Homo-oligomer: A and B are copies of this chain.
Amino acid sequence: MALVVQKFGGTSVGSVERIRNVAKRAIATQKEGNDVVVIVSAMSGETNRLLKLAHEVIAIPEAREMDVIAATGEQVTSALLSLAIHAEGGQARSLLGHQVKILTDGAFSKARIKTIEGSKIFSTVKKGQIAVVAGFQGVDEHGDITTLGRGGSDTTAVAVAAAIGADACEIYTDVDGVYTTDPNVCPSARKISKISYEEMLELASLGAKVLQIRSVEIAMKYGVPVHVRSSFNDSPGTWVTGEDKSLEDVVVAGVAYDKSEARVNVIGLHDKPGVVADLFSSLAEKNVSVDMIIQNATTGASDRADVTFTLATTDLVRAKPFIEEVGKRLGAQEIRYDQDVVKVSIVGLGMRSHAGIAARMFRILAAENINIQAISTSEIKVSCLVHEKYTELAVRALHDGFGLSEDKSAK
């Protein structure tokens, strides 16, 4: 007998009919001999409806009160699913964040889980009931309701699975699993049957938005096996687990792309020690996160240097005045901004033991005449910044070039 956590997102509980299907699935899992804990999101659209109501009242609502409002979405779903399980002949009991209890810090709207008590969940499943836990929400040490931020139900699911020592955490969503790349861009994309936490983290942060990053971090920290799968069929999805031998044979697990960054070129800075440090510590002080950074080596007698970096496009308007001010102070001759860029990345554990992967990536892009504007690498990832118009071409070329379109990955 296993202890299984199942998480259903907003689309999977988006209507009474779908809630009924979730109930059937949870009961079926229980009938297979498992103890079942279900984590639910708000019905799709509900959180937005509630936030809109708050914004009608005040332009910038206080985060504490927003969390009181937003938490009702999951509260309703947890009870509705319990009722649906009753309707299907099963036994169930809803549990809210403060009932479980899921203790968080006091950072309203983006709280972090500190501890989760398992006793109420255990006593519920021991009675043969399915424990239906409201996702996304917790309670701080003062008893105030907190929420974990968008996508926080994934985090609840994995953290609950870790806290109760579940054998698996199933994340039901509206996709079949994690793909080698975006199937909308590359029709030959394949579902990955098994991927490591590390690879998943790189893929998630690069835009494959299947699992919230924080939930993957927690799964990795506590070694929770996560199964990402579709709530609309019974096909196996993608297992996200610890590293093992089979995973290390795969050089490139997936190709990701991210259009959310903008490129900034600071041209003709004084080439003196400390100038670059000055530039980026100024931005850090203003809380602007910078992603890729390239400093062009100065050539010949020039005492000038160029620096290129990327930052989130959403931060650009806010950051521009600081960039201009610091650039002027450091003697920049010109500052150029470019939002028409995309960051294309290859991710794979196998890179650690296979040389020349980056060079192969550059060759593949060069063969398509795609100019690389910036490069960054990590142990299991290589990213290239290219013009946005090459997005599809670059992704497909890399997907084919690293053999992801076939049944076996490239060596």
Q: This chain: how many copies in the complex?
A: 2
Complex Cα spacing A82 to B82, Å: 31
- Once the chains bind, are B94 and A68 in contact (CB under 8 Å)? yes
| Chain A 56-72 interface 0/1 with B at a Cβ cutoff of 8 Å (1 = within) | 11100110111011011
Residues of A242-258 contacting chain B, CB below 8 A: none
Q: Does A384 contact B (CB under 8 A)?
A: no
The stretch of A29-37, A83-91, A182-190, A232-240 that contacts the partner chain: A83-91
Q: How large is the interface on A (under 10, 10 to 19, 20 to 34, 35 or more residues)?
A: 35 or more
- Chain B residue numbers with a CB within 8 Å of A50 are 76
Residues in chain B near residue A84, CB distance under 8 A: 57-58
Most buried by B among A57, A58, A94: A57
Q: Is A410 an interface residue (CB 8 A)?
A: no
**Do A62 and B82 touch across chains, with their CB atoms under 8 A apart?**
yes
Q: Does A214 contact B (CB under 8 A)?
A: no
Known: A98-B143, A143-B98, A143-B99. A66 touches B53 (CB 8 A): no
Apart from A16-B53, A98-B98, what 17 extra A-B contacts exist at CB < 8 Å? A16-B57, A19-B57, A54-B79, A54-B83, A57-B83, A58-B84, A58-B87, A61-B86, A62-B86, A64-B93, A65-B94, A68-B94, A69-B76, A71-B75, A72-B75, A72-B76, A96-B145
Closest 10 CB pairs of A and B: A72-B72, A68-B79, A58-B87, A65-B79, A69-B79, A57-B83, A16-B56, A58-B83, A65-B82, A57-B84
- List A residues at the B interface (Cβ < 8 Å): 16, 19-20, 50, 53-54, 56-58, 61-62, 64-66, 68-69, 71-72, 75-76, 78-80, 82-84, 86-87, 93-94, 96, 98-99, 143-145
